[in-house]
Amino acid sequence: MRKTIVAGNWKMNGTSESIRALLDGITAGVPVVDGLVTLVCPPAVYLSQVKEQLGNAPVVVGAQNVSAQPKGAFTGEWSLEMLQDLGCEYVILGHSERRSLFKETDADVADKVDATLTAGLTPILCVGETLAQREAGETLAVVATQIDAVVQRIGIERFASVVIAYEPVWAIGTGLTATPEQAQEVHAAIRAQLTGSGMKVADKLSILYGGSMNAGNAAELLAQQDIDGGLIGGASLKADEFLTICAAAAESRK
Ligand code: PGA
């Protein structure tokens, strides 16, 4: 059975104090269930603090981005070696905010996925269509192109170590959520695409949904056959709401 992953993407939010309180709230109620991974992705400057506070708590830590370069004169960047050093296990890559605001291309994202796998961390590769693309009937083609850029770079064999997050851009931070049927359709198409590209274990790949997932809609989304967790922004900043989503994820594994 594939892993279920509930990942909190805290984006550029919090202070050392608010993050301490949020993490206290999460660790107080996080469910421990076989095959369920609870992940928090704080701003990079708080990674050490979070890792230290967690101790042996059953929550893993990820970054929201990383450089594909190993080291050197790249002001404002951080490397995979640094993330390893801090005990990070996952890296969110190709988030739509990175693609649109920071002009990351499919090729940049593929470089980062490649470097992340080489370093032994797990990339969470984000893909998704804009509203205009959905309305033009291009959703599956857009997502397929974003995924194929990575497959071409790393090879289909290594894709077994990737986690995908399908995040329709129009649903991120907007309060609009894809319906369970809309999300399921894309998730199933992604799995079929990877099988078609020669992946033998596409049924083992975790494909998360992201885009205004919250305490109210998580259970319905997570009940879909091909939805294996969530990448959660706004709702991950409130411990009780995040824990409700974690509980729904635990329930979805029964
Ligand atoms: P949201 O963000 O849950 O606030 O829509 C999700 C994301 O950007 O990963």
DSSP assignment of 88-113, as one string? --EEEES-HHHHHHS---HHHHHHHH
- Assess whether 187 carries a catalytic annotation: no
| Separation CA 131–CA 166 (nearest Å) | 14
8 Å CB contact between 62 and 7 = yes
| Separation CA 108–CA 120 (nearest Å) | 19
Which parts of the chain register pLDDT below 50? none
| Separation CA 108–CA 149 (nearest Å) | 10
- Assess whether 157 carries a catalytic annotation: no
pLDDT at 189 (0 to 100):
98
Between the CA atoms of 240, 242, 246 and 252, what dihedral angle is there, to the nearest 10 degrees?
110
Query: Between 139-154 and 180-196, two packed helices, what is the crossing angle to 10 degrees?
Result: 40
**CA triplet 25, 31, 37: central angle to 5 degrees?**
100
| Separation CA 224–CA 205 (nearest Å) | 15
- In the DSSP assignment, the letter for residue 204 is G
* Ligand 1: lining residues by beta carbon, under 6 Å: 9, 167, 172-173, 210-213, 231-235
What is the value of pTM for the model shown?
Answer: 0.98
Q: Provide CB contacts within 8 A for 232, sequence distance 6+.
A: 6, 7, 8, 9, 210, 213, 214, 242, 245
**Cα 211 to ligand 1 centroid, rounded to whole Å:** 5
- Can you list the positions of beta strands (E) in 94-226? 122-127, 163-166, 207-210
pLDDT at 1 (0 to 100):
81
User: Ligand 1: which residue has its CA nearest to atom 6?
Assistant: 233
Q: Indicate which residue of 97, 104, 129, 167 is catalytic.
A: 167
pLDDT at 250 (0 to 100):
97
Report the amino acid identity of residue 252: S
**Cα 8 to ligand 1 centroid, rounded to whole Å:** 9
